[in-house]
Amino acid sequence: MRIEAVPGDITRQQVDAIVNAANSSLLGGGGVDGAIHRAAGPRLLADCRRVRREKYPAGLPTGDAVATGAGDLAARAVIHTVGPVHAQHPDDGSDLLASCHRRCLEVAEELALQSIAFPAISCGAYGWRATEAAPIAIEAVRRYAAECPQSTIEVVRFVLLDHDARRAFASALE
């Protein structure tokens, strides 16, 4: 499994799945979530509403993940995950952040996908600094790769708009 950190817009990635740093409602929001919903168009929102109705009527729990179609995006799927809000976990929360990454990889594996692009989950509005989140994210992916050597996933890409986030993820990869 190749892990990389690149600059760019996650909505334009040529991968099998992109990860949405969603809120528990799955019905859109700001930041990455809003950008993905805008780029994917109304079919994504319709898929999210169906998931809420059929599987998560109270919302997607923090640390879990679920896939939907990708609407107008180049990707085949959007994998939604809810990261922890830093202020709600002042002592840690790293287990929930790691779970977000692992669950996204498990969902991608269930769909037999080969490539997945992650944003910096929980960074930004959810209050995590990239320097805190990056090592947790990279370690979660590496642990998954070590525990699942037969995985269909060949490429895990962290797509980062912010220069500081790119530097933090590149540093965590070294």
Residue positions annotated with a catalytic role: 33
Cα–Cα dist 143/146, whole Å: 5
